[in-house]
A = this chain, B = another copy of it.
Amino acid sequence: MKTKVFYCCLVLFFLGFQGYVDARLLVESKPDRDDTAAYARWLVSQNSWGILTTLSIELEGSPFGNVVSFSDGVPGKGTGVPYFYLTTLDPTARNALKDHRSSLAISEYPLGTCSNADPESPVCAKITLTGRLVLLEANSKEAEFARTALFTKHPEMKGWPKGHDFQVFKLEIEDIFMINWFGGPKPLTVDQYLKYKM
C-alpha cells in the first residue's frame, strides 16, 4: 500500500513539475520588456482570446465589448494580424459591418506570466489594437490562411453549426497601445509591430 501511494505521489509530483517547467518556458520565452515590438507580438501570439469592441447599433453607439477567440497564425508562426470567426447572429459582426471602427484588448494576466502582479498593474502587460474590423472574401487566399490559423488554435471552431454562417474577419490595425512596465504606454508604430520577425 505504502509503495503504491509512493509511486502515485511520484507521478503527481512529476506532473506538477512538468506544469512548472511549461510555465517557466513561457516566462523564459517572454521578450525583454524594452524590446517593444517583440513583446507586443509575443503577447498577441501567445493569447488565444480577448475582448473585441465595436460601436453598438442597438445601444445607440455605445462601445460594446465582446469575448472572442482569435488567431494571428499557426502556433509559432504569428503574423501579428488577428483573425476572427464570427457570425452575424452576434452583435459584434453586425456592428462591424455597419461601422468598421473596432479594437481588440488582450491581457498578459491569463498567460500566468505576471507573477503576483495585479491585472491592472503596469507590470502585467496589456495591449489594445485599434483599427478596422473587416469581413474577408470567403474564397480569398487570406481567408484560407486565416481559417487554418484559427482552426489550429481553436479546433472546436471547425464543428460550429454551418447554419450560423460563421465568417472570417480581420482587424486592420491602425494604432497600438501597449503598457508592459512603469512609465506609460510604449511608443510602437504599426509598421514596427508588423515588420518584426518572430
Contacts and interface: CB of A to CB of B under 8 A. Distances in A.
Interface in A79-106: 85, 89, 91, 101-106
Given A49-B119, A51-B53, A117-B156, A103 B10 contact: no
A67 interface: yes
A184 interface: yes
Interface stretch (A26-34, A57-65, A190-198): A57-65
A56 B55 CA distance: 11
A105 B65 contact: yes
A50 B110 CA distance: 11
A52 B103 CA distance: 12
Identical chains bound together, number: 2
A69 B120 contact: yes
A75 to B, nearest CB: 15
Nearest to A47: B119
Contacts of A91: 177
A154 interface: yes
A128 B65 contact: yes
A62 B5 CA distance: 59
A177 B54 CA distance: 14
The 3 residue pairs across chains A and B that have the minimum distance between CB atoms: A9-B9, A65-B105, A63-B63
B156 A126 contact: no
